[in-house]
A and B are shown apart, each in its own frame.
Chain A
Amino acid sequence: MAKRIAKRALNAILLSLGVATIAFVVIHVLPGDPATALISPRLSSSTIEQLRTQYGLDRPLHVQYGLWLWSLLHGDFGFSFSQQRDVLNILAAALPYTIILALTAILIELFLGSLLALLAVRTQNGFIDKIVTVGALVTYTLPTFWIAILLISIFSYWIGLLPPAQVHSVGAERLSSIPYAIDFLGHLILPALAIGLPGAAGIARFLRANLLKVYQLEYVLAAYSMGMSELRIFFSYALPNALLPVVTILGLELGALIGGALVVETVFAWPGMGRLTVIAIFARDYPLVLACTIVSGLGVIGGNLLADIAASVLDPRLRKEM
């Protein structure tokens, strides 16, 4: 299994490089460059050319590609035009925030989705089941930015309980450890919910269907007849078997979120990969765009791999395939 994982990891790296190469070509083919984005009456054409030289944009495309690839293979992602510092430092600062947000959102999806699915299944065709089913459908179809704005309006401006943006309050660095952590948690809740709620709705509907099937299986009925508690049956028998396909979905989603939840991070001013990618694209910051592409690609592939590993943990039959 370790060999297979290593092989898949290597494939992931090569695939990401391939995606980044395509991104390199595409972004250079687009009109404009970082220097032209600065054009203004007070900037002479000679200064624009100086900046192009500084950024290495005056070199032929294949030379730029070769230099970029060579640097990348040595662990150097280059120098960001828009942020004026090393890309690696920029990624190192943004990635933890994205990972925390992504993991929290995934946990919300998993637990909330499971809870709603259980409620729906145990009250099948009843009032609660209908509320959950319809509510999940509506939530799943709502645009993420709309959910984000709704959450901010309710919890930040109407109730005034949670902060609307950023990762910390002004002056939070003066707080001691636990209040500092709670301050961070308070800022994390809304963006995580904005991502997690639609996901939880989708999982609830999907899991409900799976649970209905699992609850009809003999070993579950046998567990009931043995007098096991509802929660034990759910967590020990029903959920692990119903969860298998959901784990795959969550793995893929985690990978996609590593690339950054673009809209949510912008609305909540969350300093993660999504915001970074937007900034890089609009600034035509080639090194940063390419680095974000690579990270995003690795995230998707890595998420896929994690999903497969999780699935094999849940279903021993899949370990052989791994």
Chain B
Amino acid sequence: MKLWAFLLGVLIILCLDLYGCRSADEDAREGTVVLGIPADISTLNPIFVQEVTEGEICELIYPMLVDATFDTTIGILRFEPSLARSWEFRNEHRDVVFHLRSEAKWSDGVPVTAHDVRFTYELYGDPDLGSIRQSALDGLVKTAGGSVDVDKSIEVVDDSTIVFHFQRAYAGQLFDAGLPIVPAHIFNKVPRPELRAYAPNRQPVGAGPFVLESWKPLQELVLIPNAESVLPGPAKLERLVFRILPDNLSRLQQLKRGDIDLMGGLKPIDVSDVTSKAPFVHIVSIPGREYFFLGWNNVDGTTYAASVGASIRPHPLFGSSVVRRALTLAINRKEMAASLRGGYGQEALGPISSLFHWALNDTLAPLPYDPAAASRLLSKEGWLDNDGDGILDKRNQRFSFLIIVPAGDQFYLDIANLVQRQLREIGIEVRIQPIDGSVFFPTLIEKKYDACVAGFEVPLQIQMDDFWNSDLRRYPFNIVSFRSRRVDQILEKARASVNEIDAAPLWKEFQAILHQEQPCTFLFWSDKLVGVNDRVQGTTIGVLGTTYHAWEWHTGESSGR
């Protein structure tokens, strides 16, 4: 009896303490914002970042020459001074002279200078380091061998002045010059091969509005204000916590409970649940960054792969633009967007996002859903059900193909299943094969496929070369192998535009060509959804990321928890 009484007493005290800890937790949240993220960060050195979240965190810690904003009324990036207080273009826009703020200091008190900028870009461009941001240096002056000539392309005039020399003028110069800068005096202490494992990658010295307070692997990463920052100033929050919660359901539950304040990657089906059970959470919808499509391999993948790209023949099924047009007509894209994305998906016309208002071709409309018209087009192309098995055929070839999707993602499988059902109605047989994520894109790049369901996130400046240039070897991400001389000319001219908006007529023609040729069936654009607790105020979450200008965030009263 005494034992049971003792155990009961311990249990009661434990419960009281746990409730007490919960209260302490609530007190600890004052001035603190907690983001739930699905995976841990691997590094806080922007040279080596590989994922979006760690890139966003680096932008809160390290200085950048310019601060990007997105003008949503027009749809272009604009740049404001940051580490660079001003800049001017010279030499027919090929050179950009940046004047740095002399008062900027690293968190260890050392001044930020132009030497830091040059050193950082050396690291970005060093092939032995393998930074995934090397492409930002593609526009700079190169050696005869084709590699970036850092000595000639980045010139330090003095501690506060640096000049970027580009090969030619183009619209993305400021974007490419705006990468996070690392302190030279920290990272020039070790040989380059040892840089990836260097301790300051996990204990960063920055000059941005935040500094790292603590980082517990697989648990959380905590940023606090950098009191000495002038870029633009110390953050207003007391703490910004990135809490690692790999399970999506768990993150969602914690958002509804108020344990975390922000969560990205919400699904449309979660929205009504969140808004009804957690009215203190509002949903931010970010449109126009991601689109999904059915990729039809325009070339015979078997021949292409066997010849390592030397032999390019039209695909026996998808080599004809008439057939591709028929396939688009046979798929109800509007219904697909509605059923899979609810109110957070818009039927896609092409690869140019509605964000870029200036570039949209308003004269075009998505092809209607018209299976009868699809069947007529296929008949004209000779696809008939000659043997009466319900599947179209032509010269003894059945219209049957394999569509590959990334394994482990039900969303892609749902798309494929809808496509399979709708194409079956017009006599086309589709088989679905999930493929492991790590080999999905290599399979597409090597053209070892017939059809695929894929999606891309678009950058904030229109860049179509990677996806639509006819040089399939140089641009392997033209995964549908679309080739058009006119499109190549358009891409070349658009690349040469100094002012992005000047390329508008080119992009409109580009869209018209794709609309006619239907190299792939564009399905829909999908909004990115972020859940935000009302207590987090001053947010400007949008196309520039979840933690954009997080230094302006502050906490206030919430309508709920």
Contact = CB atoms under 8 A, between A and B. Distances in A.
Interface of A: 31-33, 36-47, 50-51, 53-54, 79, 82-86, 90, 93-94, 149, 152, 156-157, 160-175, 179, 182-183, 185-186, 266-269, 271, 275-276, 279, 282, 284
B17 A179 contact: yes
Contacts of A37: 437-438
Contact of B197 (A86, A165, A182): A86
A269 B216 CA distance: 13
Contacts of A179: 17, 20-21, 24
A167 B243 CA distance: 11
A272 to B, nearest CB: 8
B357 to A, nearest CB: 23
Given A41-B477, A84-B201, A284-B438, A271 B25 contact: no
Contacts of B218: 93-94, 269, 271, 275-276
B456 interface: yes
A271 B24 contact: no
A94 B477 CA distance: 38
A86 B217 CA distance: 13
Interface in B18-43: 18-22, 24-25, 27-29, 32, 34, 39-40, 42-43
B220 interface: yes
B438 A84 contact: no
Given A43-B135, A54-B128, A275-B246, 18 more contacts: A38-B132, A39-B445, A44-B134, A44-B135, A47-B132, A51-B130, A79-B196, A84-B42, A94-B217, A161-B19, A170-B29, A171-B24, A179-B17, A182-B18, A182-B21, A266-B247, A267-B247, A269-B218
A283 to B, nearest CB: 9
A160 B201 CA distance: 38
A174 B232 CA distance: 29
Most buried by A among B19, B50, B220: B50
B244 interface: yes
30 contacts: A31-B436, A31-B439, A36-B442, A39-B442, A43-B132, A46-B127, A50-B128, A50-B129, A51-B130, A54-B129, A83-B40, A94-B218, A156-B257, A161-B19, A167-B219, A169-B25, A170-B243, A171-B29, A172-B24, A173-B214, A182-B14, A183-B21, A185-B14, A266-B246, A266-B247, A267-B247, A269-B245, A271-B216, A271-B219, A282-B437
A21 to B, nearest CB: 22
Contact of A83 (B22, B24, B42, B436): B42
A179 B17 CA distance: 7
Interface in B150-198: 196-197
Please list the 3 inter-chain residue pairs (A to B) with the smallest Cβ-Cβ separation, ordered nearest first.
A171-B28, A32-B438, A271-B218
A155 B407 CA distance: 34
Nearest to B147: A46
B251 to A, nearest CB: 9
Contacts of A156: 253, 257
B18 A152 contact: no
B254 interface: yes
A252 B477 CA distance: 49
A165 B28 contact: no
A51 B445 CA distance: 18
A162 B18 contact: yes
B70 interface: no
A41 B243 CA distance: 29
Contacts of B15: 161
A83 B217 contact: yes
Contact of B217 (A36, A90, A163): A90
A83 B127 CA distance: 21
Nearest to B260: A170
Most buried by A among B14, B438, B445, B467: B438
B197 A170 contact: no
Given A171-B25, A271-B219, A79 B245 contact: no
Contacts of B130: 47, 50-51, 53-54
A45 B476 contact: yes
A164 B254 contact: yes
A156 B249 CA distance: 13
Given A32-B436, A44-B135, A179-B20, A174 B257 contact: no
Nearest to A45: B476
Contacts of B86: none
A2 to B, nearest CB: 37
Interface in B29-87: 29, 32, 34, 39-40, 42-43, 48, 50
B381 interface: no
Contacts of A51: 130
Contact of A166 (B18, B128, B243, B466): B243
A174 B197 contact: no
A169 B217 contact: no
A36 to B, nearest CB: 5
Contacts of B436: 31-32
Interface string B112-152: 00000000000000011111101100000000000000000
Nearest to A168: B219
Interface in B410-438: 436-438
A175 B34 contact: no
Nearest to B15: A161
Contacts of B245: 165-166, 269
A116 B241 CA distance: 43
B202 interface: yes
Nearest to B134: A47
B50 A42 contact: no
Contacts of A182: 14, 17-18, 21
B441 interface: yes
A269 to B, nearest CB: 5
A207 to B, nearest CB: 21
A44 B130 CA distance: 10
